[in-house]
Structure 1
Amino acid sequence: MFSASMRRMMAALALGGAALALPVAAVAGVVVKSTGPSSTRYPVGTKVDDNATITLKAGDVVTVLTAQGTRVIKGAGTFRVGDRPQVASDRFASLTRKRAATRVRTGAVRGEQDETVTNPSLWYVDITRSGTICLYDLSTVRLWRPGTEGTATYRIAALGETEAQAEVTFDDTVTVAALDPARMPITEGGQYMVTGPDGTASAELNFVLLAEDYEQPDALAEALISKGCSVQLEALASTLEASAEAAG
């Protein structure tokens, strides 16, 4: 017969062995961009773990964000999701930083022959794109325009029972301007129309709050998807996809 101390030791060893035998939890990822013939099979928002395989056809491109990095998978073929994700933590941090400045003098990235203008922050509201906007603070809304030339004034008006409205002026070469919360308080769920300098509608917006900070791209992507913030999801996916492809 075994002594009590021996039985306790054997039980501890058995428990340790069982723990070692447990499978390692797979890292879950989320599809944030999907184009090509298989896009309906792997739509945006699909959750996949890093041990999963996906089969793509020629012309397919699927971008998956995980806590480990970004994976851009191109068909045709069968691929393991977790193979060689590219980490772009600096780019993600830059894109999602809660900036204190009310104005930024440039948002342009210039190429050799043409100029591609990109919004430098997920938290700047693109006044040319309609949709739901996710923000952390509705009292510090900053508007962003793609162009930098010339002074331009836009009007933002609340839709519905209130007739509140305010003008926002972008100075020459400036792409970001702060919205005065005293003149135009933004409320969660409210709808707002942005009108351009020529009097035509530029965008229709509504706002929702993010309740917590998201330090990982996949967690932020899932939050944006759940709240319907497709413009920001598109910007997040495109930025990290470009960084992943540049890294090889």
Structure 2
Amino acid sequence: MRSKLWLVGTAAAVALSSTAAMASVVVVRSLGPSAKAYPPGKTLPESASISLKGGDVVTLLGPSSAQTLRGPGNFNAKSVTLASAAGKRGRFGALRTADVVRNPSIWDLDVTQSGKMCVTKGGKLNLWRPDAQAAAKLNIRSADGKVQAVDFAPGKTAIAWPAAMPLADAEYQIEWPSSGEKSSVQFITVTNAPADMVGAAQVLIEKGCQNQLELLVESASKGPK
């Protein structure tokens, strides 16, 4: 099992969504000499010119696609928006990946991962596992010590978060009794989740929900389905 590091008030969420909506693309990853000029979360208009030095690697996310630029060189943000227009999709919440072993949605909790998890207020949360061949049991432990058992039937990849374990903005431990392995997730509630990919990326970056951001970018990089 892998364990790796992968909005607050209504006003903050709305502000982030509005900012993203006005922008054509958003920087989601940035490495190299120009990283300070293009930090993750920075939005750029379609007309923006991007100047990169040797060693720079910048990943941009548009309305429905992602593109990685490598320096040195001068690039135009319009190239990402054009790619997005060619591969326009529906709501990002229904995003699916081609790999069957990948989480099918950025809003489903991969029970093998640790880190921050952004969840939509009043929305349905599913528990997802990459290996569904055999039956499996896991325990969810809340910060106050309460434990709720969850059973995956053979062939079942996802089940709903148990109603008996109220979901709050707190840290939960996910334990696998059969192996003793554990993961930890900290939930952050999104009051008004943006309905577009650029807005979603802005919120995920702001709140540190790295696993969801990586899945969003990877899915967008695969192109239209």
Shift of 1:39: 4.4
Unmatched 5+ stretches in structure 1: 1-25, 99-106, 111-116
Distance 1:45 1:204 in 2: 25
Unmatched 5+ stretches in structure 2: 1-21
**1:153 aligned partner, one-letter code:** K
- Corresponding residue for 2:135? 151
Q: Does 1:177 align with 2:159?
A: yes
Give the share of equivalent positions with the same residue, in percent.
Answer: 30
Shift of 1:157: 0.2
- Corresponding residue for 1:236? 216
Partner SS state of residue 109, structure 1: coil
| TM, length-normalised to structure 1 | 0.69
| TM, length-normalised to structure 2 | 0.76
In structure 2, relative to structure 1, the CA distance for the partners of 1:146 and 1:197 (3 Å cut) is farther
In structure 2, relative to structure 1, the CA distance for the partners of 1:27 and 1:224 (3 Å cut) is closer
- Corresponding residue for 1:48? 44
208-217 or 80-89: bigger deviation: 80-89
Shift of 1:32: 1.3
What is the aligned length? 201
Shift of 1:65: 2.2
45-54 or 224-233: bigger deviation: 45-54
Higher relative contact order (CA 8 A, sep 6+): 2
Partner SS state of residue 78, structure 2: coil
Shift of 1:69: 5.1
Partner SS state of residue 243, structure 1: coil
Q: What are the residue-to-residue correspondences of 1:55-94 with 2, within 5 Å?
A: 55-57=51-53, 60-67=56-63, 70-85=66-81, 86-87=83-84, 88-90=87-89, 93=91
- Corresponding residue for 1:167? 149
Shift of 1:142: 1.3
Structure (1 or 2) with the larger CA radius of gyration: 1
Q: Residue by residue, what CA displacement relative to the aligned partner does 1:155-212 show, whole Å, maximum 9, x if unpaired?
A: 11012xx221111111112211122222x11112x11001124353431111122111
Work out which of the residue numbers 171, 177, 189 in structure 2 matches 1:209. Answer: 189
Q: Residue by residue, what CA displacement relative to the aligned partner does 1:119-176 show, whole Å, maximum 9, x if unpaired?
A: 00111101111111111146732111111211111111012xx221111111112211
Distance 2:215 2:203 in 1: 14
